[in-house]
Amino acid sequence: MATVTYDKATRIYPGQDAPAVDNLDLTVEDGEFLVLVGPSGCGKSTSLRMLAGLEEVDTGAIRIGDRDVTHIPPKDRDIAMVFQNYALYPHMTVAANMGFALKIAGTPKAEIQRRVMEAAKLLDLVEYLDRKPKALSGGQRQRVAMGRAIVREPQVFLMDEPLSNLDAKLRVSTRTQIASLQRRLGITTVYVTHDQIEAMTMGDRVCVLKDGVLQQVNTPLALYDKPANVFVAGFIGSPAMNIATFDIVDGKAQLGEASVPVPTSVLSAVSAEDSSTLTIGFRPESLVPASSDNGGGGIPVTVDLVEELGADAYVYGHPTGPAAAEQVERMRSEAVIARVEPRMAPNKGDKVVFAVREGESHFFSAKTGERIEP
Amino acid sequence: MDTAEKLIQMVLAIALFAGAMGLILMLVGRVRRRADIVQAFAFIVPAILLLAIGLIYPALRTAYQSFFDRTTEAFVGLANYQAMFERDDLLIVLRNTLFWVLVAPVTATVIGLIYAVLVDRTRFEAFAKALIFMPMAISLVGASVIWKFVYAHRPDQQGIEQIGVLNQILVWLGFEPQQFMLNAPLNTFLLIAILIWVQAGFAMTVLSAAIKAIPQDIVEAGRLDGLYGVKMFRYVTVPSIRPALIVVLTTISIATLKVFDIVRTMTGGQFETSIVANEFYTQSLVRGNYGLGAALAMVLFVMVIPIVIYNVRQMRKADIR
């Protein structure tokens, strides 16, 4: 068991100016399941590979427990990795694949056999031990890759998008299996994914990266409730948060006909940074239909599409009114999305005025994108 | 040819034709519609005809001739085959062929493999590969002419300079120049070296492509499992390119069995260097012993078949995968 510490770790690929991972400071607690998430090219895989020893660390250091592993070869780091394409040795049986690292390390045969059998039982692979990987289904291969990692009994598990090659249904069930397995084994795990639902459902904590820079680390719910900046706000949550830049007029946020109340503490923060605009975000479930003529309050929207999910219905619309074009331009999201009661959903083409539930708006500086706490 | 023989030939030709027709009809039997039958015929008949004329008939005729004497007039049974295993000069031919098949394919493949691994992902890879692949572009006769100079010998007398590289090196080192092409059985191995020189480039090219096709993540998984250098080569590289290794080995084996140009150009099969393909030429076209020549050709044919079958099987396995 061990903690993992990135200490200002930086990776710059040869021939490139911008670092792939930029001064990453991050501590993973003992036994924690930490998910690295972000859009493609954000440096999440590179961060993981730096920890694995497959990628050099240009500046800074990486520690596992108290041990500085920055320049130690992969095999001596006491880690095990699950690859996106599983990377099973095609010429070896399942059992040989799982026990291979132990064999190379010179572990006695009986001990290897015992540990492979143990892992196989845990993963429901006993009847496949003599097969070659090509005779297995995708889900089984995935489990063998997991087994190969478990057999090593490492201090840290590294997983690089291990579910991305499974079909949607299997992905959901394997997701819970991996999470519960990790909790049972209690081994520190760093898990990379681009899928924010995976991140939210599996991680004890989630670390959001963008362009090689750490954006925010916190529990899934904290990320959802208090995103640290506009990027995290837009990235976490499905459907995505509605985000737009509003003008401050008479103590209210105004954008065309849309208007949102702003607390005074936020207003003073905006004037303190000498700005007259404010980025506001609100989640689909924070929008409620308001009476259509309430004297300029709320956000008038024309409905483009209604997504009926049974328990919920989501309205996808675009702003209406004389200033619609400007409103669309200032929006970060493609549409205004609102969750509504499925039995009372509006029809396509209807005009609806939405109001933001009190206290559920997220405010961000229009200049820096950082969160302004009301 | 007497009448009996002509008759036999006629029967043979008819049998051949009947066999081909039977094959066609059997294939056609699976096809129901009339238009399909016509179409099937149109596609199959030219190929069958060409194969029959160019391959099947000559093969059968050679087999037939191998049971006859030097002028293919008198039937001698298995005498030609018997001679091959009794006459000293022909036993040497078989022994030499064995040397060739045992040494050339394995050595060329091993050299090609080591070379491919060593130059893989180095800065001068393209240049290094071109260097070893170049001999492939030279005909075996051309290659032999080049190596004739390497092995060339001038008598060790005052005022006479060696023109062969190998002998000059010997002289520099203080040894006497050797008549390399006259010393059996060393001369056979020196000839084998020429084929290795040519085929190593082929092995290197195919194996290098196979090495590059190994998925990067498997190599990385190997590194996490503790594989470096020789261990990586043994546990990941070689097993991953096994199919390519087999193709290279069998292809070079077939080329080795059929090799003729090198021996013909270098020694003409003298000084105990002859091999089956060369001896077959010598017996048939120089000595005029058609029966023995045909028997040698048959032996060559029989030796190649198992390798071809193995190769085809492996390829089919690879296809299924």
Question: Who contacts A361 (Cβ-Cβ below 8 Å, separation ≥6)?
Answer: A260, A262, A280, A281, A282, A286
Chain B neighbors of A75, CB-CB under 8 A: 223-226
- One DSSP character per residue, A289-348 reads EE-S-SSS-BEEEEEEEEEE-SS-EEEEEEE-STTHHHHHHHBSSSSEEEEE-GGGPPPT
Mean of the pLDDT values across residues A186-190?
91
pLDDT (0 to 100) of residue B289: 82
CA atoms B121, B127, B128, B129: torsion sign? positive
Q: How far is CA A348 from the centre of its chain?
A: 32
Q: Shortest CA distance to A52 belongs to which of B260, B180, B217? A: B217
Nearest residue, CB atoms, B226 vs list A54, A85, A105 = A105
* Torsion, Cα of A235, A238, A244, A248 (10° steps): -100
pLDDT (0 to 100) of residue B247: 86
Residue B234 lies in a domain: yes
Domain residue limits at B53: 3-65
Are A101 and B224 within 8 A, CB to CB? Answer: yes
Chain A neighbors of B239, CB-CB under 8 A: 89, 91-92
Do B32 and B119 fall into the same domain?
A: no
Smallest Cα distance from B251 to chain A, Å: 23
pLDDT (0 to 100) of residue A270: 84
Residue B235 lies in a domain: yes
Residue A369 has pLDDT above 90, yes or no: no
Smallest Cα distance from A87 to chain B, Å: 5
Nearest residue, CB atoms, A87 vs list B221, B242, B321 = B221
Residue B127 lies in a domain: yes
Residue B75 lies in a domain: no
Residues in chain A: 374
The region of weakest confidence among A163-177, A213-227, A287-301 is A287-301
Do B30 and B95 fall into the same domain?
A: no
Are A89 and B231 within 8 A, CB to CB? Answer: no
d(CA B21, CA A243): 78
Amino acid letter for position A56: E
Mean of the pLDDT values across residues A322-340?
80
Amino acid letter for position B58: P
Contacts across the A-B interface (CB distance below 8 Å): 57
Q: Identify the CATH number of the domain in which residue B227 sits.
A: 1.10.3720.10
Question: Who contacts A346 (Cβ-Cβ below 8 Å, separation ≥6)?
Answer: A289, A303, A306, A315, A340, A352
Are B236 and A89 within 8 A, CB to CB? Answer: yes
Residue A206 has pLDDT above 90, yes or no: yes
Quickly list H helices, B164-289. 165-172, 186-212, 216-224, 229-232, 238-240, 242-257, 261-266, 276-281
pLDDT (0 to 100) of residue B1: 54
Are A89 and B223 within 8 A, CB to CB? Answer: no
CB A216 within 8 A of CB A227: yes
Residue B133 lies in a domain: yes
Q: Which domains does chain A have, with CATH numbers?
A: 4-234 (3.40.50.300), 241-372 (2.40.50.140)
The span from the first CA to the last CA of chain B, in angstroms, equals 54
Q: Helices B140-151 and B165-172, interaxial angle, to 10°?
A: 20
Give the B-side interface with A, CB within 8 Å.
215, 217-218, 220-228, 231, 235-236, 239-240, 242, 321
Chain B neighbors of A192, CB-CB under 8 A: none
pLDDT (0 to 100) of residue A167: 86
Do B51 and B196 fall into the same domain?
A: no
d(CA B60, CA B47): 18
Are A89 and B220 within 8 A, CB to CB? Answer: no
Smallest Cα distance from B203 to chain A, Å: 22
Smallest Cα distance from A71 to chain B, Å: 14
Residue in B with minimal Cα distance to A158: B224
- Bridge partners, residue A217, by sequence: A207
What is the 3-state composition of chain B as percent helix, strand, coil, each rounded to the nearest 5? 75, 0, 25
d(CA A280, CA B51): 80
Are A54 and B223 within 8 A, CB to CB? Answer: yes
Question: Who contacts B94 (Cβ-Cβ below 8 Å, separation ≥6)?
Answer: B84, B85, B276
Helix, coil or strand: residue B213: coil
Burial B220-250 (b: 16+ CB within 10 A, else e): bbbbbbbbeeeebeebbbbebbeebbbbbbb
Are B225 and A84 within 8 A, CB to CB? Answer: no
Task: Kindly give the confidence (pLDDT) of every residue in chain B, 321 residues in length, as a single tens digit, with 9 standing for 90 and above.
Answer: 567 777 777 777 777 777 777 777 776 666 566 777 778 788 888 888 898 888 888 888 888 888 888 877 777 878 788 888 888 888 888 888 888 888 889 999 999 998 888 888 788 888 888 888 888 888 888 888 888 888 887 777 777 777 788 878 887 887 777 787 777 778 888 888 888 998 888 999 899 989 888 888 888 888 888 888 888 888 888 888 888 888 888 888 888 888 888 888 888 777 888 888 888 888 888 887 888 888 888 888 888 888 888 888 877 776 655
What DSSP state is assigned to residue A58?
S
* Torsion, Cα of B36, B39, B44, B46 (10° steps): 160
pLDDT (0 to 100) of residue B31: 59
Q: How many domains, in total, are found in chain B?
A: 2
Are B239 and A80 within 8 A, CB to CB? Answer: no
CB A348 within 8 A of CB A314: no
d(CA A253, CA A297): 10
Confidence of residue A184 (pLDDT cuts 50, 70, 90): confident
Nearest residue, CB atoms, B224 vs list A74, A84, A92 = A74
Do B50 and B117 fall into the same domain?
A: no
Give the A-side interface with B, CB within 8 Å.
52-54, 73-75, 79-81, 83-85, 87-92, 100-101, 104-105, 134
Smallest Cα distance from A172 to chain B, Å: 25
Smallest Cα distance from B239 to chain A, Å: 6
Do B19 and B165 fall into the same domain?
A: no
d(CA A259, CA A328): 15
Do B57 and B87 fall into the same domain?
A: no
Do B156 and B274 fall into the same domain?
A: yes
Assigned token pair, A155: 């201090």
Burial A266-290 (b: 16+ CB within 10 A, else e): bbebbeeeeeebbbbbbbbbbbebb
What DSSP state is assigned to residue B111?
H
d(CA A110, CA A188): 27
pLDDT (0 to 100) of residue B28: 64
Residue in A with minimal Cα distance to B242: A91
Are A54 and B231 within 8 A, CB to CB? Answer: no
Do B53 and B90 fall into the same domain?
A: no
Chain B neighbors of A84, CB-CB under 8 A: 217
Do B9 and B139 fall into the same domain?
A: no
Assigned token pair, A244: 């737009």
Do B148 and B217 fall into the same domain?
A: yes
Are A79 and B215 within 8 A, CB to CB? Answer: no
pLDDT (0 to 100) of residue B75: 78
Are B218 and A89 within 8 A, CB to CB? Answer: yes
Residue B218 lies in a domain: yes
Assigned token pair, B286: 């120089």
Do B139 and B8 fall into the same domain?
A: no
Residue in B with minimal Cα distance to A49: B220
CB B301 within 8 A of CB B258: no
Residue B76 lies in a domain: no
Do B86 and B61 fall into the same domain?
A: no
Average pLDDT, chain A: 87
Residue B13 lies in a domain: yes
Assigned token pair, B46: 């030219």
Mean of the pLDDT values across residues A138-159?
89
